[in-house]
Structure 1
Amino acid sequence: MGAQRYIGVAERRARLGLRQRLAGSAGAATPEEVAGSLVALHGTDPATVYLAVGARLADPAKTVAETGRALYEDRSLVRMHGMRHTVFVFPTALTAVVHASTGLAVAAKERAGLLKHMAAAGAPDAAWLKEVEESTLAALARRGQATAAELAQDEPRLREQFVYGAGKSYEGLHTVSTRLLRVLGVEGKVVRGRPLGSWTSGQFRWAVAPEHPELDAAEAQAELLRRWLAACGPATEADLKWWTGWRVTEVRRALAAIGAQPVELDEGPGYVAEGDVAPVPEPDAPWAALLPALDPTAMGWQQRDWYLAPELRPLLFDRSGNVGPTVWWNGRVVGGWAQRTDGEITWRILDGQGVGREALAAIETEAERLSGWVGTTRITPRFRTPLEKELAAG
């Protein structure tokens, strides 16, 4: 058996630029192409979805209209819970894979937790909750899309409240609607629909989830891992475990099922998808990008030293590990950006190594490009980071 191929930092950055749709020649035509290439777009912050798409479209002027179309008219993209119990936007065709590979286990815990908390508070039992659930889903089917408040008009029991964590430091009053809709979302029965406000709004209506087949969990995990490695490989076992949220035994089983091929990385053993060991050429030209907070590229790997210098992290991440807006040059993070209250896109270089006139000009072009399609909309990341807050206030 021959030695495993070594894939160095330069090639990993080239793969990133091309497969993450960031290099100039790799721009996508539609939001569906972007989501398909990345497997998933982070959806915790609604603005991230649009900003991540806009950074990768060949014609960013279409970002808001086309992303809204895909999410709320064609429903070719769906916002739902996925890996690590996080909200993502997926291609609709992938929902069955995500649900079976990551959602089912989390859903069982969520429902059990809700019933446990309700019982501790002396709230009604599982049979009562089942009645409310069925009535709520029927009301949602009739309405098409609705807020929790609108659903409570049809099913008043959604307004009932119970005390969570009585006597604890985290004691709080929970409404049945909030907890039940969350459980139904994780179970793949409902998804987030059109927001009440603009594309940056976090107030969503709910909609009945699109129908999908029930898949075998192991087969679904293999398919999800195959897609992710094709988009993001090479990656270490630690990267894969972190991104999926699975147990290490599940990661190893999926790697074996798809015939993933081992390679050597600077941080140790890694994997690529079957047949993906050949060298990847550099993009046609160096590239710059302004990526949003929680962008799937910046958050794609647990081990990030090959594209993000450790000394930059205190300024670019919050205390929970959420990345803020980042400035990229040719496959690595070199700084951060923010939008000021007057709408100006401002940025700062934190790592100037190799960032010369060409890079600065390209970054400024990207800032103007972003400002052009964002227009009068004001963007404040949900999870604010030290550099973003400093730049926004400046």
Structure 2
Amino acid sequence: MGAQRYIGADERRARLALRQRLAGRARAGTPEEVAGALVALHGTDPATVYLAVGARLADPARTVEETGRALYEDRSLVRMHGMRHTVFVFPTALTAVVHASTGLAVAARERAALLQHMATAGAPDAAWLKEVEESALAALARRGQATAAELAQDEPRLREQFVYAAGKSYEGMHTVSTRLLRVLGVEGRVVRGRPLGSWTSSRFRWAVAPAHADLDTAEAQAELLRRWLDACGPATEADLKWWTGWRVTEVRRALSAIGAEPVALDEGTGYVAGSDADPVPGPEEPWAALLPGLDPTAMGWQQRDWYLAPELRPRLFDGSGNVGPTVWWDGRVVGGWAQRPDGEITWRILDEEGVGREALAAIEAEAERLSGWVGTTRITPRFRTPLEKELTAG
């Protein structure tokens, strides 16, 4: 076996710029193209989906309208639970792969936990719950989309409550509708529908999930990993285990199944999809981007030193490891941004290396571009970071 080809930080940034649709000429034409290129858009903060799409569109003027169309009219994108028990937005064609590769195991645990908690509280049994859920799903199918409260009008048993963790410091009352809809979501039977408010709202209706085929778990894991390496490779085993939430044995099995090729990285051995080890030329011009909190590029890898200096992390991440809004210059995070109460997009450079007049002008242009399509909407990240708070207050 020959020596592994070395892929350094510069080439990894070149791959990132082109495959993550961030360099100017690599930008996409539609939200579906963006989601397909990235595999998944973080959906925990609803605004992130739109901001991540807008940052990558060649013409972001209709970001809100086109992303809403894809999510709620064409249903070409779907918001559902995925890797690490986190909500993402995926291309609808990928839902079967995501469900089989990551959802099934989590779903089994979630249902077992719900039944155990109900039994401990003396609530009705599994047969009762099954009857309620079938009734609720039928009501949802009739309505098309509905909130939990609306479904409870059709199936009043959804309002039943039970005590969770009785006697513990975190004791509380759980409503059947809240827990059951969460389980059905993880099981891939329901998905989030239209929000009750604007595109930044976190209050969603529910809808019956699009039908999808039942896939073999190992085959689905191989397919998901292949897609992710095409978009984000190279990556280490640690990156892959973190992003997927799988066991290391599952990661290694999937790498073997797709014939992933090992390469040398500064962090050690990494992997690319088979035949993707050839050098990748960088974009023709340096590029700037303002990416939102939880953006899939900023959160794409566990080991981030090649694009994010460790000394910047305390200002750009919250206490749970969630990244806030970031400013990028030519493949590196160099600062952060925020929206002030009056709507102004403001930003600050934290790493001045290589950030000259050209970079500052490009970053300012991106801030104006963002402000142009966001308009009068006010955006507050769900997970706030020290720098974002400073910029907002300032």
Q: TM-score, normalised to structure 2's length? A: 1.00
Residues 336-375 of structure 1 aligned to structure 2 (within 5 Å): 336-375=336-375
What's 1:192 paired with? 192
Counterpart AA for 2:95: T
What's 1:322 paired with? 322
- Deviation sequence 1:169-197 (CA, Å, 0-9, x none): 11111100000000000000000000011
RMSD of equivalent CA atoms: 0.4
Q: After TM superposition, what 4+ stretches of structure 1 lie above 6 angstroms from structure 2?
A: none
What's 1:134 paired with? 134
What's 1:252 paired with? 252
Counterpart AA for 1:51: L
What's 1:237 paired with? 237
Q: Distance in 2 between matches of 1:367 and 1:383?
A: 21
Counterpart AA for 2:354: G
Q: Distance in 1 between matches of 2:229 and 2:64?
A: 29
Counterpart AA for 1:127: A
Residues 161-240 of structure 1 aligned to structure 2 (within 5 Å): 161-240=161-240
- Is 1:33 matched up with 2:33? yes
How many residues are paired up?
394
Report how far residue 224 of structure 1 moved: 0.1
3-state SS in 1 of match to 2:303: coil
What's 1:268 paired with? 268
Counterpart AA for 2:279: P
Unaligned 5+ runs, structure 2: none
What's 1:156 paired with? 156
3-state SS in 1 of match to 2:131: helix
3-state SS in 1 of match to 2:382: coil
Report how far residue 164 of structure 1 moved: 0.5
Counterpart AA for 1:338: A
- Deviation sequence 1:338-378 (CA, Å, 0-9, x none): 00000000000000000000000000000000000000000
Residues 53-202 of structure 1 aligned to structure 2 (within 5 Å): 53-202=53-202
Report how far residue 284 of structure 1 moved: 1.1
Q: Distance in 2 between matches of 1:30 and 1:265?
A: 33
3-state SS in 1 of match to 2:315: helix
Counterpart AA for 2:133: E
Q: Distance in 2 between matches of 1:28 and 1:134?
A: 41
Report how far residue 380 of structure 1 moved: 0.2
3-state SS in 2 of match to 1:259: coil
Q: Distance in 2 between matches of 1:282 and 1:84?
A: 32
3-state SS in 1 of match to 2:67: helix
Q: Distance in 2 between matches of 1:170 and 1:269?
A: 43
What's 1:303 paired with? 303
Q: Distance in 2 between matches of 1:99 and 1:341?
A: 40
Report how far residue 393 of structure 1 moved: 1.1
What's 2:331 paired with? 331
Q: Distance in 1 between matches of 2:311 and 2:230?
A: 29
Report how far residue 123 of structure 1 moved: 0.6
Counterpart AA for 2:142: R
Report how far residue 152 of structure 1 moved: 0.3
3-state SS in 1 of match to 2:226: helix
Q: Distance in 2 between matches of 1:122 and 1:267?
A: 52
Unaligned 5+ runs, structure 1: none
What's 1:18 paired with? 18
3-state SS in 1 of match to 2:259: coil
